[in-house]
Amino acid sequence: MANSYLKSESKKLATWYFTVAAILFGAQLLFGLVAAAQYVIPGFLFEILDFSVARMVHINALVVWMVFAMFGAVYWLLPDETGIETVGIGMGKLLFWIFTAAITVVVLVYLFIQVGPADETSIWLIHEGREYIEAPRWADLGITVVALGFVANLFMTGMKGNRSGIVTVLMADMIAFAGLYLTGMFYTDNISVDQFWWWWVIHLWVEATWEVYVGAIAAYGLITMIGAHRKVVEMWLWIEVSMLFGSGILGLGHHYFWIGTPEYWWEIGALFSALEPLPLVAMFIHVLYDWGKMQGEEDAKGQAVSVITNKPAFTWFVLNAFGNFLGAGIWGFFHTLPQVNLYTHGTQFTSAHGHLAFFGAYATILVGMMYIAVQGKNGIKIMNNTKSTIWATSMIVGGVVGMTVALTVAGYSDVIISRAQMGATWAGYFDAQATTWLVQGMVWRLLLGVVTFVGFLFLAKDLLSIGKATHHVR
């Protein structure tokens, strides 16, 4: 695709980030399929690509592709929101290549070296052994440098240009984004202390700073695609900032139930973690209500009704509102209360929640931003769906929701047998693994994972070709 419509170097850099993000998204799904197959066929790729390695690449690729897409989305919107080119774009390009090279090396080490000696060498050169953030220490430091450089670009541009409410929120949020990642770099041989700080990254980094980020991107997207009133979206954005930084910090306590922290976290953590998705959903409802009302008034006057300028992106943004509420809210609250979590913690319920929450809360809106970038890159005024758009959206959403349901059903077997009936014993665990519900749940998870991956192939095809379609308004 030609770049003739992209005059901004910041937007060009954004397309680089989106490209790498899409590749890593595909890798995440592919290794997820391998891990899912190993649940059904335990000997699959044994001693070639073991489950522990496939799972590690699957989970870490998830986090990294989203970070790439997040950086890309900010570089895309900065010129629009500030009215100027991103300051320090040369440094931004250099950091992109450093980040990409570092991630490539880390993945190769995961695949071909996999494990190391049980000493500091492993932590520095192979992986740290912490879920989601298993990158070796050298890569941790590199990611921190890249994140700080990105924050510097954002701040210098925000201070020099016209700083909107969206940019102001992003500036504050990205400080926390970069800072909270550091809490996962502490080393301690006390498992409770280690888990305490680890949860700060997995919950507070992801469920607070990422959620605020999503709110800012949603605000930008709604203004861009349907002409939403800036005052409305920014009002809800500030409410979301207060609620997510408030409820997100207190909601962190729902991870503290079983690591030796005080019991008052039971009630605090359960209550506030359930409140996190509400502001974003409220923003969508308010904006769409106002937009529909405005269109009705225009129609009554016989005036032209405004249109959605990017239908594929708008679909993914709406999916984000529903997915965030269902995945992070409903499925999260399923097993957040400590009285329930006593039985569900570490079961397939957790996996069900994780799949739908990460997809619904983050993947959807980032895919939407990729479509916005394709629209801008090809100079399209109104971008319509293609057959590939519909197949991609239907298969990916259907696959992920189906996997979530399958894992939820499997989770019941885990809970009823291995926890409630057998008292969380090894015998109970193995008895649960052999039940029809769990076995069939894993089979369905694999089949629906294949559906999701095929949907991704349609998505990749669509992102590469939709700009050339002739049925758009240019």
Question: Whole-angstrom Cα distance, residue 161 to residue 180?
Answer: 27
Nearest CA to 366 among 8, 5, 3, 24? 24
Could you give the angle at the alpha carbon of 201 between the alpha carbons of 37 and 344, nearest 5°? 50
Dihedral in degrees, nearest 10, Cα atoms 83, 89, 95, 96: 70
d(CA 427, CA 404): 26
pTM: 0.92
Cα–Cα dist 199/454, whole Å: 33
Nearest to 28 by CA among 46, 55, 2: 55
Each residue's pLDDT expressed in tens, for the chain with a length of 474 residues? 444 578 899 999 999 999 999 999 999 999 999 999 999 999 999 988 999 999 999 999 999 999 999 999 999 999 999 999 999 999 999 999 999 999 999 999 999 988 888 778 888 888 887 877 888 889 988 888 999 999 999 999 999 999 899 999 999 999 888 888 888 887 778 887 887 888 888 777 877 788 889 989 988 998 899 887 788 788 878 887 777 766 767 877 877 777 778 888 878 887 777 776 676 677 677 777 777 776 666 666 666 655 789 999 999 999 998 888 888 778 888 887 888 888 888 899 999 999 999 999 899 999 999 999 999 999 999 999 999 999 999 999 999 999 999 999 999 988 999 888 888 888 888 888 889 889 999 999 999 999 999 999 999 999 999 988 887 887
> What does the H/E/C string look like for the chain?
CCCCCCCCHHHHHHHHHHHHHHHHHHHHHHHHHHHHHHHHCCCCCCCCCCHHHHHHHHHHHHHHHHHHHHHHHHHHHHHHHHCCCCCCHHHHHHHHHHHHHHHHHHHHHHHHCCCCCCCHHHHHHCCCCCCCCCCCHHHHHHHHHHHHHHHHHHHHHHHHCCCCHHHHHHHHHHHHHHHHHHHHHCCCCCHHHHHHHHHHHHHHHHHHHHHHHHHHHHHHHHHHHHCCCHHHHHHHHHHHHHHHHHHHHHHHHHHCCCCCCCCCHHHHHHHHHCCCCHHHHHHHHHHHHHHHHHHHHHHHCCCCCCCCCEHHHHHHHHHHHHHHHHHHHHHHHHCCCHHHHHHHCCCHHHHHHHHHHHHHHHHHHHHHHHHHHHHHHCCCCEECCCHHHHHHHHHHHHHHHHHHHHHHHHHHHHHHHHHHHCCCCHHHHHHHHCCHHHHHHHHHHHHHHHHHHHHHHHHHHHHHHHHHCCCCEC
What pLDDT does 3 receive? 46
- The Cα–Cα gap between 381 and 325 comes to 31
Give the model's pLDDT for residue 2. 45
Look-up: residue for tokens 């430091």?
141
* Closest residue by Cα to residue 450 from 57, 24, 27, 29: 29
- The CA dihedral of 118, 30, 65, 58, to the nearest 10 degrees, is -30
Bridge-partner residues for 310, per DSSP? Answer: 383
Q: What are phi and psi of 389, to 5 degrees?
A: -60, -50
